[in-house]
């Protein structure tokens, strides 16, 4: 019965992995996350989705991946198209990904993108910087058939 949970927990832990060896010393704010999301959306408009996703997947220290903030993107079916924290997950189906309390976060993000075009989702996630489960918020925006997002820890 628990065999189906293990892949979700592994995927969930990867969803929040920071990149690089050091963690950010200061917390990102909602304003920081909003600014990065807006920059990501502009980048898609400027260079197209394919190039923008490549830019989002660049290593820590790049324009779209700095400190605890990174850009992620998936299509409306829940397939990662970009994931700054763990680019190796691009192409993976994460539509059934849940948070630490079982909340279907990717499905919820897709619903928000389809109904409102943009918004935020609150969930509980393991913060790898301090190894504590914390409240996290992701700001998301629909761009064409893509859900673009940036998350930050609220605790």
CATH number at residue 66: 3.30.450.20
Q: Considering its fold, how many domains does the chain have in total?
A: 1
The H or E element that residue 34 is part of is: helix 30-47
Range of the domain at 30: 2-153
Tokens in use for 60? Answer: 């820590």
Splitting the chain (155 residues) into consecutive groups of 10 residues, what average pLDDT does each group show?
Answer: 42 43 66 97 97 92 84 97 92 96 96 97 85 93 98 87
The pLDDT value recorded for residue 67 is 79
The pLDDT value recorded for residue 2 is 41
The pLDDT value recorded for residue 25 is 54
| Cα separation, 139 vs 107, whole angstroms | 14
Q: Cβ(76)–Cβ(113) under 8 Å?
A: yes
Tokens in use for 27? Answer: 């917390």
| Cα separation, 94 vs 115, whole angstroms | 20
Q: Which residue, among 89, 76, 68, 88, has the nearest Cα to 49 in the 3D structure? A: 76
The pLDDT value recorded for residue 68 is 83
53: Cα within 13 Å, side-chain hemisphere? 20
Model pTM score:
0.81
């Amino acid at each position: 019965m628990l065999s189906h949970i293990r892949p979700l927990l592994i995927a969930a832990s990867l969803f929040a992995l920071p990149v690089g060896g050091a963690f950010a010393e200061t917390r990102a704010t909602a304003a920081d996350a909003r600014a990065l999301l807006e920059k990501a959306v502009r980048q898609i408009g400027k260079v197209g989705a394919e190039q923008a996703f490549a830019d989002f997947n660049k290593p820590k220290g790049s324009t779209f991946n700095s400190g605890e903030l990174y850009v992620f993107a998936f299509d409306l079916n829940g397939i990662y198209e970009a994931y700054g924290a763990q680019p190796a997950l691009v192409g993976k189906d994460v539509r059934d990904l849940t948070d630490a309390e079982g909340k279907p976060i990717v499905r919820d993000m897709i619903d928000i993108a389809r109904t409102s075009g943009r918004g935020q989702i609150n969930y509980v996630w393991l913060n790898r910087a301090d190894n504590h489960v914390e409240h996290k918020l992701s700001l998301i925006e629909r761009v064409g058939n893509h859900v673009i997002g940036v998350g930050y820890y609220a605790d």
